[in-house]
């Protein structure tokens, strides 16, 4: 955090990366270049003409399949109509390797972008429910959401102070003021929250309307925070014009003004979400266990976290493996200016081959540990059926097209990035121990999929899973060494690896 952006170096590209470069897109480019020597455009000036349309109509006229597609698809939903029957059959909700304990209920983030907090609390409740013999339980996602939102507001204003000398239209300033207090987050950001504020059961700090419907509050807060940033920029210029003031005095005055401005943010958040318990403030939680026996616990949020939320594998001792074929494998990456708690743990990723992410999942499931992961959930997926499969829709066969983008290409062209975090709680292995499909616990309620659970094919995992969190005790030793070395390459703030699930 606070490091200046730099371009990641590539001392040696991994073989999978080289293979991806020899993709369909590259082959198509070669063919196109060759064809340019043999043909001339129908439109010499580059504008579309009816000559182009006539040529394309000739193609359709010679294809009964494309004519049938026109007949059917102008009044049908293409996703429903072109769903592959064979894919739906293959993607059964049956798994031969699952966690030995099932949690519940299925959670619902509703109209908010809190998937990372739901995924985290769904991982943590596994240990809590086992230790306390509970039949159903939820941690308060709203509690973590409150402290995250307040800290992100502070983080943005600190960055505004830090870069007050940059022009208002500088790319960094523009980027920072875009989605400045996103509902989303990353693993290291939630670790910051857990270690600082702990956790509480949901009855202690329940959902409010606007924890489940965050857009109206976000809109209000963004308007005020952008105004606050301009106030701090103007104050910075005024203070620095006084040469008698030291840099320490200037920074102190700016932070004093920032705290005054943050009072408005706190008032809005506490009114719409509720006032949460303090990290060191005692609360009492009464509950029933599986047998209907009542229990009661009194302590602080941090004490509850330390006592129940993990057993062998602490969130602090877990880190992110990513698969980013654009960049060198076996390296540690961070994203400049990305975080939530100022001065907290930075967002760090160890980039590695996709097979290492798969094996990390299998190893954790066999060890009885649910898996936090980040992916691009909207790609080739059916929300209602709860299926994620690259072969789910018959687009290529229907339209005579071919998808040529590789995983690296999608990242380079803004086609894909991490958009959603969920939990893997099972895997189906073939006779050789290789993953075939994965059981995914989502946070969209119990209606989608198989009572809230999704199935993810191995092919989809390869293309659209970007992150798997693993305890260091279960991670490959060579990747732990990369993480511990701390020699990180800094990606710019707008890099797709900076997207918040």
Say which residue the tokens 């941090």 belong to.
302
Q: What are phi and psi of 183, to 5 degrees?
A: -65, -25
Q: From the CB of residue 322, how many other CB atoms can be counted at a distance below 10 Å?
A: 21
- Is the pTM here over 0.75, yes or no? yes
The torsion angle over the Cα atoms of residues 207, 212, 217 and 218, rounded to 10 degrees, is: 130
In this prediction, residue 34 carries a pLDDT of 59
**If DSSP codes are grouped into helix, strand and coil, which group holds residue 251?**
helix
- Which pLDDT does position 215 carry in this prediction? 98
Chain center to CA of 332:
18
Hey, which residues are catalytic here?
115, 420, 442
Determine the Cα angle at 440 with ends 451 and 358, to 5°: 165
- C-alpha to C-alpha distance for 123 and 441, rounded to whole angstroms: 10
Nearest of 223, 193, 212 to residue 273 by alpha carbon: 212
Q: Residue 341: name the closest of 193, 226, 197 by CA.
A: 193
C-alpha 351/C-alpha 332 separation (Å) is: 6
Cβ neighbourhood burial of 462 (10 Å; 0-12, 13-18, 19+): middle
The pLDDT tens digits along the chain (501 residues) read 343 333 333 334 444 434 544 555 666 666 666 555 678 999 989 999 999 999 999 999 999 999 999 999 999 999 999 999 999 999 999 999 999 999 999 999 999 999 999 999 999 999 999 999 999 999 999 999 999 999 999 999 999 999 999 999 999 999 999 999 999 999 999 999 999 999 999 999 999 999 999 999 999 999 999 999 999 999 999 999 999 999 999 999 999 999 999 999 999 999 999 999 999 999 999 999 999 999 999 999 999 999 999 999 999 999 999 999 999 999 999 999 999 999 999 999 999 999 999 999 999 999 999 999 999 999 999 999 999 999 999 999 999 999 999 999 999 999 999 999 999 999 999 999 999 999 999 999 999 999 999 999 999 999 999 999 999 999 999 999 999 999 999 999 999 999 999
Which pLDDT score is estimated for 24?
Answer: 59
- Both tokens of 367, joined, read 């060890």
**CA-closest candidate to residue 336, choices 22, 38, 8:** 8
Distance of CA 390 to the CA centre of its chain: 19
| Alpha carbon separation from 341 to 136, 160, 226, 402, 500 (Å, rounded) | 31, 15, 19, 44, 15
Look at residues 183, 471, 143, 163 and name the one whose alpha carbon lies nearest to residue 340. 183
- Torsion angle of the four alpha carbons 140, 211, 181, 309, in this order, in degrees rounded to the nearest 10: 10
What pLDDT sits at residue 1? 38
Assign 331 to helix, strand or coil: strand
Q: List, in sequence order, every residue forming a beta bridge with 454; answer none if it has no partner.
A: 440
Residue 364's pLDDT is 98
For residues 336 and 493, the answer to whether their CB atoms sit within 8 Å is: yes
How many residues appear in the chain?
A: 501
d(CA 241, CA 250): 10
Residue with tokens 């109206």: 216
Residue 270: per-residue pLDDT = 98
Residue 97 CA to residue 362 CA, distance in Å, equals: 9
Q: CB neighbours of 53 closer than 8 A, spacing ≥ 6?
A: none
- Specify which residues 444 forms β-bridges with: 108
Q: Is the dihedral of CA 313, 316, 317, 320 positive or negative?
A: positive
DSSP letters spanning 271-308: HHH-PPPPTTS-EEEEEE-TTS-EEEEEE-HHHHHHHH
Per DSSP, 346 falls in state P
d(CA 232, CA 255): 9
């Amino acid at each position: 955090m606070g490091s200046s952006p730099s371009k990641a170096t590539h001392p040696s590209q991994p073989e999978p990366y080289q293979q991806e470069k020899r993709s369909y897109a590259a082959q198509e480019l070669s063919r196109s270049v060759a064809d340019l020597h043999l043909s001339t455009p129908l439109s010499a000036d580059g504008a579309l003409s009816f000559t182009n349309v006539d040529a394309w109509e000739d193609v359709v006229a010679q294809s009964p399949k494309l004519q049938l597609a026109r007949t059917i698809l102008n009044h049908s939903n293409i996703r429903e109509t072109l769903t592959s029957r064979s894919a739906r059959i293959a993607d059964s909700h049956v798994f031969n390797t699952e966690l030995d304990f099932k949690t519940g209920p299925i959670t619902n983030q509703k109209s908010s972008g809190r998937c990372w907090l739901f995924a985290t609390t769904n991982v943590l409740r596994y240990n809590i429910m086992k230790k306390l013999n509970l039949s159903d339980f939820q941690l308060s996602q709203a509690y973590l959401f409150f402290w995250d939102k307040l800290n992100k507001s502070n983080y943005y204003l600190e960055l505004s102070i830090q870069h007050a000398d940059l022009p208002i239209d500088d790319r960094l300033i523009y980027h920072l003021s875009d989605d400045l207090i996103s509902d989303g987050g990353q693993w290291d950001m939630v670790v910051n929250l857990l270690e600082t504020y702990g956790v509480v059961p949901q009855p202690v700090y329940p959902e409010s309307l606007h924890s489940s419907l965050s857009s109206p509050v976000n809109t209000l807060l963004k308007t005020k925070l952008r105004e606050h940033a301009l106030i701090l920029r103007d104050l910075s210029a005024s203070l620095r014009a006084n040469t008698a003031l030291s840099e320490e005095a200037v920074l102190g005055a700016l932070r004093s003004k920032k705290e005054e401005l943050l009072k408005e943010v706190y008032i809005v958040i506490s009114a719409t979400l509720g006032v949460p318990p303090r990290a060191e403030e005692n609360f009492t939680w009464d509950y029933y266990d599986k047998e209907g026996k009542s229990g009661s616990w009194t302590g602080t949020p941090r004490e509850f976290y330390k006592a129940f939320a993990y057993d062998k594998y602490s969130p602090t001792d877990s880190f992110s493996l990513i698969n980013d074929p654009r960049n060198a494998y076996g390296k540690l990456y961070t994203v400049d200016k990305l975080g939530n708690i100022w001065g907290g743990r930075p967002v760090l990723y160890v980039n590695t081959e996709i097979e290492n992410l798969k094996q990390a999942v299998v190893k954790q499931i066999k060890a009885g540990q649910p898996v936090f992961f980040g992916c691009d959930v909207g790609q080739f997926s059916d929300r209602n059926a709860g299926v994620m499969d690259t072969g789910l829709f018959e687009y290529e066969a229907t339209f005579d097209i071919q998808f040529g983008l590789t995983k690296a290409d999608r990242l380079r062209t803004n086609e894909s990035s991490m958009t959603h975090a969920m939990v893997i709680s099972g895997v189906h292995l073939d006779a050789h121990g290789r993953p075939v499909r994965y059981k995914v616990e989502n946070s969209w309620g119990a209606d989608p999929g198989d009572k809230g659970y999704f199935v993810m094919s191995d092919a989809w995992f390869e293309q659209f899973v970007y992150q798997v969190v693993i305890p260091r005790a279960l991670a490959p030793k060579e990747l732990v060494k990369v993480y511990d070395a701390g020699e990180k390459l800094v990606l710019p703030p707008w890099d797709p690896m900076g997207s918040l699930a």
